[in-house]
Chains A and B, each alone.
Chain A
Amino acid sequence: MDKEIEQGYNEILESLRKRSLWILHYCTGCGAIELPPTMTSRYDMGRFGIVPFVTPRQSDILIVTGYVNIKTLRRIITSYEQMLDPKYVIGFGSCSINGGIYWDSHSVIKKLDSYMPVDLYIAGCMPRPEAIIHSFKHLMELIDTGKADGYRRYKENYDFYRKNQRKVLGKWR
């Protein structure tokens, strides 16, 4: 009985929580140029309760906008680990899926999912603001059904992610 109450409580909480998601306004690649139109008057993501915030401590979503080179990967991982649970990662554009046009580059990582758990990808180069809004709505669905569990996967498979991070970054901390 207690478990059912706790489950019901969690369900209500999750349906409220999904209506207030704050983005970490940290731009890693060229895809960041699509975020300002999404925030401002034309597409207005504020109507879903999604607003940009400036520090990792306050934010819920980390959007990895485009390619990630090794130098940036350090900052992204630090920012991600500074965010408080529950936290979500959106891989933005084809570069975060498989490297995109940086496939052969020596300094750009290919698959973001090996270094940090990605909850959701947006395909395209560039994804338009409509696609971003669509992805937010999809993320809300995932949160509602409890499928957006990247932060849990990161804790469970920490050794795996750590090993992959070490492979490209060396012993960096």
Chain B
Amino acid sequence: MVEKILLAVLVPLFAFLVGIFLEGFKRKMVARIQRRYGPPLIQPLLDIIKLLSKKDNISHGLMFDLGPVIALSGSILTVFFIPTPGFKLLSASGDLVALLYIMVIGSLGMALGAGESGNPNASIGIARALTLMLGYDLPFVIALSTVILKFDTTNLYEIVAAQSDLYWGAFLMPITAVVAFIATYGAMGEHPFEVVVAPQEVATGPMVEYGGKHLGFLMIDHAFHIYIELALFTDLFLGGASNLGYFFLKIFGLHILLTFFDTVYPRFRIENAVRFFWRWPTVFALIGLLIVMIGG
């Protein structure tokens, strides 16, 4: 019992530290690509401390306060379900389908909270977030079905176990892996899919009325979000890992790859983003599914 409680604290802590490190590293890396010096590595942590220590707080209603809490708790719950090497918490009892449903809770909480603020920019931001989700979820779900078909199980632990000895999902089904990578990329909202938090267009979208402690919670949630997306991809296609160090290295490599794309691309309009997702990734996801169905 004590062990379970300890794990329930340690797993989110690990996820948070990885997420916050990746965020800081990304800012530094983007700065170096743009030939700047860049902020220190712990800058996201300083930002969160600053936001949580703000003296004022403005509320627009009950749901506005609950929104960030729902988002954060949804993220922490998702972290429990993702297989992490060394930690076995809830990941044995849930499966991929359950995970897909739980992952939506975070965005839903944010949408509910931002809707309460009554700011038109927030409404546009939420509309964009849900539309974009419609876009990237189609190829992502097809890719996940391919994975389920290939390994003949929906249990995440068995999927990870089936990929031991370099029989990684990315090698067994490369087309599906690329599609899932693009879908994950869209889910993380980086350029060119940064249509939700577009500061120049909709003033950070759903976060427009959030400040102080609310925004601090949302930034913690964002750190978790980075970890969740990358850890899920690592578990499904890069064969998980035998210990935490390898796990972290795989996530880190993925994140560096993402940051390269993020730095050089501009931003899609929302309809172009959805059109892109429904055209090439969906077609290739179907081809990948066909290959697995025929080839086994």
Give the chain B neighbours of A19 by CB distance below 8 A. 40, 43, 46
CA distance A59 to B55 in the complex (A): 13
Is A86 in the interface zone, CB < 8 Å from B? yes
- Please determine whether B46 and A44 come into contact, CB atoms closer than 8 angstroms: no
- Please determine whether A49 and B47 come into contact, CB atoms closer than 8 angstroms: yes
- Please determine whether A84 and B37 come into contact, CB atoms closer than 8 angstroms: no
Main secondary structure of the interface of A (DSSP, over half): loop
Is A157 in the interface zone, CB < 8 Å from B? no
CB contact under 8 A between A16 and B56, given known A46-B36, A55-B208: no
CB contact under 8 A between A20 and B46, given known A13-B53, A58-B210: yes
- Please determine whether B47 and A17 come into contact, CB atoms closer than 8 angstroms: no
Give the chain B neighbours of A53 by CB distance below 8 A. 199, 204
Is A125 in the interface zone, CB < 8 Å from B? no
Most buried by B among A19, A40, A53, A84: A84
Is A77 in the interface zone, CB < 8 Å from B? no
Is B279 in the interface zone, CB < 8 Å from A? no
Give the chain B neighbours of A3 by CB distance below 8 A. none
- Please determine whether B36 and A41 come into contact, CB atoms closer than 8 angstroms: yes
Report which of A13, A16, A17, A84 forms a contact with B212, defined as CB distance below 8 A: A84
CA distance A40 to B33 in the complex (A): 12
- Please determine whether B35 and A57 come into contact, CB atoms closer than 8 angstroms: no
CB contact under 8 A between A20 and B56, given known A41-B34, A55-B208: no
Give the chain B neighbours of A49 by CB distance below 8 A. 39-40, 43, 46-47
- Please determine whether A44 and B56 come into contact, CB atoms closer than 8 angstroms: no
CA distance A70 to B50 in the complex (A): 33
CA distance A19 to B45 in the complex (A): 11
Write the nearest CB–CB distance from A19 to chain B, whole angstroms: 5
- Please determine whether A84 and B56 come into contact, CB atoms closer than 8 angstroms: yes
> Number of A residues whose C-beta is below 8 Å from B?
24
- Please determine whether A84 and B36 come into contact, CB atoms closer than 8 angstroms: no
Is A101 in the interface zone, CB < 8 Å from B? no
- Please determine whether A46 and B55 come into contact, CB atoms closer than 8 angstroms: no
Residue-wise interface mask of B (123-134) relative to A, using a CB-CB cutoff of 8 A (1 in contact, 0 not):
000000000000
Report which of A16, A40, A54, A57 forms a contact with B46, defined as CB distance below 8 A: A16
CA distance A147 to B36 in the complex (A): 31
Is A47 in the interface zone, CB < 8 Å from B? yes
CA distance A20 to B208 in the complex (A): 19
Is B90 in the interface zone, CB < 8 Å from A? no
Residue-wise interface mask of A (22-47) relative to B, using a CB-CB cutoff of 8 A (1 in contact, 0 not):
00000000000000000011001011
Residue-wise interface mask of B (41-52) relative to A, using a CB-CB cutoff of 8 A (1 in contact, 0 not):
001001101100
- Please determine whether A54 and B204 come into contact, CB atoms closer than 8 angstroms: yes
CA distance A157 to B55 in the complex (A): 19
Is B104 in the interface zone, CB < 8 Å from A? no
Is A85 in the interface zone, CB < 8 Å from B? yes
Residue-wise interface mask of A (82-114) relative to B, using a CB-CB cutoff of 8 A (1 in contact, 0 not):
011110000000000000000000000000000
- Considering only residues 48-92 of chain A, those with a C-beta below 8 Å from chain B are 48-49, 53-58, 60, 83-86
Write the nearest CB–CB distance from A5 to chain B, whole angstroms: 16
Write the nearest CB–CB distance from B259 to chain A, whole angstroms: 16
Give the chain B neighbours of A20 by CB distance below 8 A. 43, 46-47, 49-50
CA distance A16 to B51 in the complex (A): 11
Is B287 in the interface zone, CB < 8 Å from A? no
- Please determine whether A17 and B203 come into contact, CB atoms closer than 8 angstroms: no
CB contact under 8 A between A58 and B54, given known A20-B49, A41-B34, A47-B37: no
Q: A46-B37, A58-B210 are in contact. List 17 more A-B contacts (CB 8 A).
A: A17-B49, A17-B50, A19-B40, A21-B50, A44-B38, A46-B39, A47-B31, A47-B38, A53-B204, A54-B204, A57-B211, A57-B215, A58-B207, A58-B215, A84-B54, A85-B56, A86-B55
- List the 4 shortest-distance A-B pairs measured between CB atoms, nearest first: A57-B211, A84-B56, A20-B50, A85-B56
Can you list 6 A-B pairs with a CB-CB distance of less than 8 A? A16-B53, A41-B34, A44-B36, A47-B36, A56-B211, A84-B55
